[in-house]
Structure 1
């Protein structure tokens, strides 16, 4: 993506030079010889057409990320960006307008099951993009790190290529619900997950971490399709205890308000993405 932006800058410079020459030629130049009339003017118009065509093609190829790439490359190349690339699981109880959330392990709030993707294979984002992990990062293969803004367009492009990273959602489901014995392992040996959408929050101003200027958060949202046995188990949880120190069943309104239990218990802001 950086190469595309470099080409864009070259096209832009060529465009300005050609337009500047034509303005000079027709507004200020008095005695015009044939070299100007037949060669330079024609060349200037040809360059303008070529540059405009190139700019349009680059903008179309990059789509909605074009202006983001331009901003990162030209305006904020060395600003620190915190990047988190993760997935959220929407678990809705059949027959009930209730969503299943779990207690956060780091923040005192309830939130969807899910977490950051991990690297697989030999990809080294610390070498490729000079990234640095979070201070409390226990696993350097988590896709949660700090990076200079100039690398962000490459990272977004790589993320959507789905190469060298997790693409499944079972790991977090197992760790948060099966391994913790909230759910019976016999009924949850596997799950079916339907991809719903991707939610992005790119280059939002934040100051949560030291030296950080921007956040870039990307969430893939999946819906868990429960089998009959799995549905029965969630219904049993709901009827037995719909709110405890491990999990909670909440309504859509609760999620929109970002709290429940008479406003005493917090729901994570990102939970709204599962609605």
Structure 2
């Protein structure tokens, strides 16, 4: 991001110098005008394609520069069975949400975490389950560098199979013999805006990879064979998810569930 702005600024300086020369020569004036027009088109295109990150960059680097921002980076599975979405009950928060969870980091990440002054999350107690979660606190001035580290995929978990296995196989919801492996593809990466969250009493940003689960015929039938009502899981329509479960009396649906539809 920083390098891109330096590049654009350098081009504009060159164009300005050419325009000065152009005052003495129509030839240089014509060239500088063409270059400036091209640069404007490039900048507009760049801003349009990266608007979300530019806004994130400005807010984190300037407004929240010295404040810690809570960062939670996860992966979510979109599991659609016959026009309904399969959700599971959360272990920590009493709500229905997509199968998935927070990515883990590996021990080799300690160096970059020290460099970026990353702190552990202070909301959820660190235990065997939450140890090494990518649910941390990062100063605004380092947020873009932290996101860049995550996007490179180094020294961190890159698979979604762990949470799938824990939530659906170990729990006994689905039979292990029909799920010796899973196939899934990345739909999108959702980077939410920084917002103050009253529940965590902090500025927070949520990032999630949305995966589409590609089921075999046997695996699809295993989902279809589940009962339609259970305390552990739920099949929900798109309308119900958009309303976060307000149309029914049981547990609510997590806000981030909307990202999967």
| C-alpha distance in 2 between matches for 1:188 and 1:172 | 13
TM-score relative to the length of structure 1: 0.74
* Pairing partner for 2:117 from 130, 154, 159: 130
Aligned residues: 238
| C-alpha distance in 1 between matches for 2:3 and 2:114 | 19
Alignment map for 1:79-118 (pairs within 5 Å): 79-93=67-81, 96-118=82-104
Q: Look up the match of 1:203.
A: 194
Q: Look up the match of 2:207.
A: 218
1:221, 1:274 within 8 Å by CA — same for their partners in 2? yes
- Tell which structure's C-alpha radius of gyration is larger: 1
Q: How far is the alpha carbon of 1:242 from its aligned partner?
A: 1.2
Q: How far is the alpha carbon of 1:264 from its aligned partner?
A: 3.4
SS of aligned partner of 1:259:
coil
SS of aligned partner of 2:88:
strand
Cα 1:75–1:2 change in 2 (3 A) is: farther
Deviations 1:114-159, CA, capped at 9 Å, x for gaps: 0111113501253122111123133342111111111111112222
SS of aligned partner of 2:178:
coil
Segments of structure 2 that go 5 or more residues without pairing to the other structure are: 17-34
Q: Look up the match of 2:181.
A: 190
Segments of structure 1 that go 5 or more residues without pairing to the other structure are: 19-48
SS of aligned partner of 2:213:
strand
Cα 1:109–1:71 change in 2 (3 A) is: closer
| C-alpha distance in 2 between matches for 1:262 and 1:207 | 25
Query: Which runs of 4 or more aligned residues in structure 1 lie more than 3 Å from their structure 2 counterparts after TM superposition?
Result: 1-5, 59-64
Q: Look up the match of 1:27.
A: none
TM-score relative to the length of structure 2: 0.78
Q: How far is the alpha carbon of 1:209 from its aligned partner?
A: 2.5
1:250, 1:260 within 8 Å by CA — same for their partners in 2? no
Cα 1:257–1:71 change in 2 (3 A) is: closer
Cα 1:273–1:63 change in 2 (3 A) is: closer
Q: Look up the match of 2:137.
A: 146
Cα 1:195–1:2 change in 2 (3 A) is: same
Alignment map for 1:166-185 (pairs within 5 Å): 166-185=157-176
Deviations 1:198-221, CA, capped at 9 Å, x for gaps: 2221212223325x2x21111111
Q: How far is the alpha carbon of 1:72 from its aligned partner?
A: 2.2
Cα 1:260–1:188 change in 2 (3 A) is: farther
